[in-house]
Amino acid sequence: MHQRISKKIVVYLFLFLTLVTINNINLSDFNFLKIITLNLTGLNNFEKKNFEEDLNFLKKEDLIFLDKDKISKKIFANKIVEDFSVFKNYPSELEIFIKKTKFLAITKKNNQDYYIGSNGNLIYTKNSLERLPFIFGNVEPDDFLKLKTHINNSEFNFDQIKNLYFFKSKRWDIETKDDLIIKLPLDQIEISLNNLSKIIISEEFKNKKIIDLRQKNQVILND
């Protein structure tokens, strides 16, 4: 029964479009299959309002012949977006689900605070309420995301980090929530962190303030 109804709808739609073509009538003159309702999900009320203003051009657009590239450019112009999905609910509703980026760290640029998102964007914030690692130094998102990947691939827990220090040489220091400074090497970071995770539980590491991993196959301790 359901299949018969679906087939009837398809047939009626085909006949309608055929008649329009035969009579040389512009489809844009009809409200049929025009976007009347635009639903945005995945956002808070403030974000939703901004997106609705940016996407207002979609109202009265043809639901069938949407310009996907134009929609994509408009949505990704907002730096909080990680990904999005579009659903057409015929005859006149367009639903867009926004997947927001995950805030991973905070840094400063020109004395202003920015989140670094998992999408690789710097996102300005007036009030950084998130409890995230703070990055000191002139860091670009890609530099941080490379480090984050190394940490994720190691046995070291990213949640232990309080601060990160980025140097011009592109080397990193980690400050943990226990006030331990870990000086990382330029390369083989995952190996160094895995070695650290294995030996840091030993007695000789207790009460140490600095662990220097910059030298290959060496661990230097400082009080």
Residue-wise pLDDT for 182-196, tens only, equals 999 999 999 999 988
Domain end: 100, 134, 161, which one?
100
pLDDT of residue 6: 52
pLDDT greater than 50 at residue 1:
no
Tell me, yes or no, whether 178 and 74 share the same domain: no
Domain end: 56, 83, 100, which one?
100
pLDDT band at 218 (very low <50, low <70, confident <90, very high): confident
How far, in Å, CA of 25 to CA of 32, rounded? 13
Q: Provide mean pLDDT across the span 23-47.
A: 74
CA distances from 212 to 97, 141, 183 (A): 46, 25, 5
- Model pTM score: 0.80
Give phi and psi for 33, each to the nearest 5: 65, 25
Q: Provide mean pLDDT across the span 98-115.
A: 96
Per-residue pLDDT reduced to its tens digit, 147-158: 999 999 999 999
Residue 194, domain extent: 103-222
* CB 106, CB 133: distance < 8 Å: yes
How far, in Å, CA of 213 to CA of 223, rounded? 15
* CB 87, CB 69: distance < 8 Å: no
